[in-house]
Amino acid sequence: MKRNKIVIFDTTLRDGEQCPGASMNLREKLEVARQLARLKVDVIEAGFPVISEGDFSAVQTISKEIKGPTICGLARCVSKDIEAAGEAVQPAGKKGRIHVFLATSKIHREFKLGKARDEIIRLAVKGVEQAKSMVKDVEFSPEDGSRTEPEFLIEVCKATIEAGATTINIPDTVGWAVPDQFADLIRELYEAVPDFQSGKAIISVHCHNDLGFAVANSLAAVQAGARQVECTVNGIGERAGNAALEELVMALKTRSDFYEGITCGVHTKQIVNASRLVSRMSSLIVQRNKAIVGENAFAHASGIHQDGMLKHRSTYEIMNPEDVGWADTELPLTKHSGRAAVTARLKQLGFKTVDLDLDSVFVRFKDIGDKKKFVYDDDLIALVENQFTEVPETWTLDYLNVTCGNQTVPTATVRLKKSSSETGKSKAKGETVISDAGIGDGPVDAALKAIDRLTQKRGILKEYIIRSVSQGKDALGEVSVKVDFGDGELIAGKGASTDIIEASARAYLNAVNRVLSASGKRKKKSTQP
């Protein structure tokens, strides 16, 4: 590895997914992983294999199918964790990595672990050695590293490198650090541990954004000797999130005069595509004024700015929007476009069509095409991505009619089809179709209350977001919801349609089906011998 190349370690699928309400299913994770490969990140931390069957399956599947990046699984310094991570990344072969961690700060040692320094080092070394017996590429993280005593952190680094770790990640776990102080810590480690200077191991950083310093701390660490940065697309993650990949990468590229000689291999023209995909899959909307990927990132409203832009673009733009993937939409499709044209466009957009139900996509495409003049790329992407959010459909929407107005009580009539609870597929004969009506404060409220009555799953809507997928008054509307069905867990649901009431009903039903599918799996598992 070149000494001045920054390894981009993407943890969108692990730390990013830990953000409340942002959990993704296997198909969603796999599609994000494919986009990360197109983005050419160096490492994909695909999950925490021991915590659930779903996470194990996701890491294992990504290890099998994604080529290019190193595939990493997270593990505590616990034998069963490391075994699960090793088994999950095994299909990646030489591209498999195990990332083990153990808290080292005084506050964690005393109040969380109840262990002395020598015991922490013993457990860390044991964990690294076990991981090294399964893969060649081992990373170790002293959790809460930024609040760990520097002299002890140096001792931990030396011991774990000696045990076989080739990457030592220093996490700012609670976002406590500030740039100058964090840079001093990284510089001290680099100078005190000869293996960092020789290249036997590299320093990595993993910064959280609790004080808004995640990107600044990461860049300061790079200046001080760090050569791997852990980050997420759109900066998603626990609490206030992680360092945003797009901001880190474009800071290094745009200010190459300052970060002289420092490079990374990210294909920046895939940044906007990655941002949009992660936003849809995680149901976390990107704020309009978000750097690099927000809709306003390259918008200029001031007359003075517009005048300057017309005279010379560099007066008010430090980056070319096309360099990060902002570009005009391709020529739109219409209802007259055939299956071959739709399939070709999906391939151009980066989708692996063998994994798609093209019959279903084409039916939905024709349905949308009948309702609007043009079907844009974003419309098509929304239709396809809705397939990734699907779960076994206990309930499907068959009919919806609403009556509303400023002088009318909003009323919704809903008819649902109920499928076999065992297979999630509709019965060929004797299919159950039921209908009911509900009234509410508005048409959406009325429709959701009718669905509650039919499914007997009363949910409390905690979040409701609607956005226009593409341009025009006839644009496809995409609704994202987060629903609490009584246990405090937020279940995400998504739906799209040119009719926002229909999109709302589909999103809510998607959440209902998710919670039913999850409870069905738990019930099945509990009855197994």
Cα-to-chain-centroid distance, residue 516: 23
Whole-number pLDDT of residue 21 = 67
Task: Output the pTM of the full model.
Answer: 0.83
* Residue 373 near residue 475 (C-beta atoms within 8 A): no
Contact between 203 and 220 (Cβ < 8 Å): no
For 395-527, give the CATH class: alpha beta
3-state secondary structure 164-179: CCCEEEEEECCCCCCH
Residue 154, phi then psi, degrees to nearest 5:
-60, -45
pLDDT value for 399: 96
Q: Is the dihedral of CA 432, 436, 441, 443 positive or negative?
A: positive
Query: Any idea which fold 7-282 has?
Result: TIM Barrel (3.20.20)
For residues 171 and 144, the answer to whether their CB atoms sit within 8 Å is: yes
Instruction: Tell me the C-alpha distance between 166 and 145, whole Å.
Output: 17
pLDDT value at residue 100: 98
Mean pLDDT by 10 residues, the chain (529 residues): 84 89 85 96 97 94 97 98 98 98 97 96 98 98 98 98 98 98 98 97 98 98 98 96 98 96 96 92 88 83 50 73 77 81 83 78 84 80 73 88 93 91 47 91 96 94 87 82 90 89 95 84 51
pLDDT of residue 344: 86
| Helix H or strand E segment including 495 | strand 490-497
Structure confidence by residue, pLDDT tens digits, 445-475: 999 999 999 999 999 999 999 988 877 777 8
What is d(CA 237, CA 245) in angstroms, rounded to the nearest whole number?
A: 12
